[in-house]
Amino acid sequence: MKKFDPATELNKLEQFGEFGGVNPSITDSATYTFLGAETMVDTFHGETEGCFLYSRHWNPTNKYLSDALAAMEGTEAAWVTASGMAAITSAILQLCNSGDHIVSSVTTYGGTFAFLKYYLQKFNIDVSFVIPTDLDAFKNAIKPNTKVIYTETVSNPLLQISDIPAMSKIAKKCGAKLIVDNTFSPMMISPYKLGADIVVYSMTKFINGKNDCVAGAICGSLEYINSLIDLNTGTTMLLGPVLDPMRSSSILKNLYTLHIRMKQHSKNAQYLSERFTENGTKVFYPGMKEHPGHELLSSMMNKEFGYGGMIAIDLETKEKAYQFMEKAEKAGVGYLAVSLGYFKTLFSNSGSSTSSEVPEDVQKEMGMSPGLVRFSVGLDNDIENTWELIKNCL
């Protein structure tokens, strides 16, 4: 079987603007006119093609970006949202009713963890949390009312690797849907091709890569995406987290350089991980042979994009982590900031920032040291020099 290549699939798309523009036009309209009243009614019922009704439902510019993401993921369809959290929460709420149950990996982005652990209590949706690498724990946590299995391909911040084909089997067996957050590993991993039902993204990160906006995406079957925008029961249609078309247009242009950026992020992260290891600093990077998820990731990945741009180092205490980060920022390594996927290196202390929603005892249980510093490695041309700067700060 021919290998799936997300970058080539994306590049096959031909989307033109008015007057033959090489970039699709921006439709900055909230509503759309009809020449026939009947056509409008048919459009309401989803019975017309190429007609748009109202931009909370579909906007042509959002459709261009969604089609590009669907091509990249190998899904039938996609829908773009105003943030990654909008994608995650809408994707879950569309599948779960009051009284349902979710099995989720415990090491997820802090906002996702808070939504699953605290917010869903409002709707009487129960969530069991398990270690992402423990497949038996996933199996054992399944209940008759389990509707969703949720995980991140590469977990935040410990970079544990989820076995997507195995999780897909567990989900299929119990009739649940497998939702995978692939924010850390676009292009590198194609979760839908590995058996996930739904792939969600924070496009704020690598996909856009410019840190100039927040945005998200949901990719899946046409039936599922249409269910999200159903006029009466669709979560995104009714809660309304639609992405602005101006942003869709700029993200679409950035998407076309993602494959090159991912290769450079990976190359730089691999280099730094090797230097950290030589230096005796404890490092988490799935590109290292010693990483427990290395072989699994190697078996699932689209190889040419590398092992990703995220690494974490363990400096043992919060005090040491703070001291290091302040020095590193001053030295010009990058910025002390949350988020990831930027062209400059960003670093933060996970326990007190992006994972601060996770209670300390849970952080300990999942193996997260208080001195963990997560790096989103940038596109530095001279990574050897960056290492010299880092070394002086350690």
Instruction: Among 6, 24, 111, 306, indicate the residue that binds ligand PLP (CB under 6 A).
Output: 111
Contacts of ligand PLP in 207-226 (CB under 6 A): 214, 216
- Measured from the CB atom, the residue of 142 and 148 that comes closer to ligand PLP is 148
- In the bound state with ligand PLP, the residue whose beta carbon lies nearer, of 78 and 383, is 78
Q: Which of residues 67-86 bind ligand PLP (CB under 6 A)?
A: 83-85
Helix H or strand E segment including 11: helix 6-11
Cβ proximity of 80 and 248 under 8 Å = yes
Question: Binding to ligand PLP (CB under 6 A): which residues in 7-26?
Answer: none
- Which residues are within 8 A (CB) of 160 and not within 5 positions of it... i.e. 6 or more apart? 107, 131, 132, 133, 154, 292, 293
Spatial CA neighbour of 285 closest among 366, 384, 359, 184: 184
92 counts as binding ligand PLP under rule CB under 6 A? no
Contact 155, 162 (CB under 8 A): yes
Nearer to ligand PLP, 43 or 133 (CB): 133
**Which residues, 255 to 274, sit near ligand PLP by CB under 6 A?**
none
Min CB(190)–ligand PLP separation in Å:
17
Residue 41: CA count within 13 A, CB half-sphere: 3
Percentages (nearest 5) of helix, strand, coil residues in the chain: 40, 15, 40
What is the C-alpha separation between 75 and 71, in angstroms, rounded?
7
The alpha carbon of residue 343 and the mean position of all alpha carbons in its chain are separated, in whole angstroms, by: 17
- In the complex with ligand PLP, the residue whose CB is nearer, 146 or 204, is 204
The least CB distance from residue 90 to ligand PLP, in Å, is: 11
Q: How far is the CB of 334 from ligand PLP (least distance, A)?
A: 17
Least separation, in Å, of the C-beta of 91 and ligand PLP?
A: 11
* Interface of this chain with ligand PLP, residues 140 to 199, rule: CB under 6 A: 152, 156, 181, 183-184
Q: Which of residues 343-372 bind ligand PLP (CB under 6 A)?
A: 354
Q: For residue 249, give both structure tokens.
A: 């247009």
Closest separation in Å from C-beta 180 to ligand PLP: 11
Among 58, 79, 109, 375, binds ligand PLP (CB under 6 A): 109
Query: What tokens appear for 20 in the block?
Result: 């033959």
Residues within window 321-340 making contact with ligand PLP, judged by CB under 6 A: 339
Q: Pick the closer one to ligand PLP by CB: 27 or 204.
A: 204
Instruction: For residue 65, give both structure tokens.
Output: 């970006």
Instruction: Rank residues 6 and 341 by Cβ distance to ligand PLP and give the closer one.
Output: 341
Residue nearest to ligand PLP (CB): 84
SS (H, E, C) 358-378: CCHHHHHHCCCCCCEEEEECC
Comparing CA positions, the residue from 175, 218, 171, 217 lying closest to residue 194 is 171
Q: Which residues in this chain contact ligand PLP in the complex, by CB under 6 A?
A: 83-85, 109, 111, 152, 156, 181, 183-184, 202, 204, 214, 216, 339, 354
